[in-house]
Amino acid sequence: RMEQALAADQDHALILDDAAGPADLDYFTQFAELVTEGLVTAGYPRCTGEVVATNPAWRVTLREWKATFGAWLGAPTPEAILRASIFFDMRPIAGDTRLYAELADLVRASAPRSPRFLAHLAAAAGAGAAGRTSMQRVGGTLRGGGAL
């Protein structure tokens, strides 16, 4: 995320290629732990809400991410608004950035067609609960067709 604050914690996830197999899933599980612990060592505490790639919910395939965003946009519960506001600030830092681009394109196309979601997001932003909504690109590579 692009968040900059004195008390920033970790918020990160992985977008895995839909063709990821069991060996890839094992690799990305270990990779997520390595990244998370490295950030702890660097002074960024783990997210108390577990919005980190070590949480299996945030280490899923592109198809699963599309379904997750679809659910958030289709049913704007307070939890969905919170999660979406966190992930609207996403950007790739390594891996196959086409995975990110495909997901970001879908979200950008879908969100304007979700007026109920947008109304709830605007209300949350007005209350100070939602984050910035930038989606920027940075390149890199990871084994097994993933994006961080």
pLDDT at 103 over 70: yes
Alpha carbons 71 and 66: distance in angstroms, whole number: 9
- Tell which phi-psi region holds residue 95, choosing left (phi > 0), alpha (psi between -120 and 50) or beta: left
**Residue-level pLDDT at 124:** 82
Alpha carbons 115 and 119: distance in angstroms, whole number: 6
For the ranges 22-31, 58-67, 104-113, 136-145, the lowest mean pLDDT is seen at 136-145
For the ranges 4-8, 17-21, 98-102, the lowest mean pLDDT is seen at 4-8
**Residue-level pLDDT at 106:** 95
Nearest residue to 84 via CA among 35, 40, 135, 45: 135
pLDDT at 47 over 60: yes
Residues whose CB falls within 8 Å of the CB of residue 20, separated by 6 or more in sequence, listed in order: 28, 61, 144, 145, 146
Is the Cβ–Cβ distance between 36 and 1 less than 8 Å? no
pLDDT at 132 over 70: no
pTM for this prediction = 0.79
pLDDT at 2 over 60: no
pLDDT at 68 over 50: yes
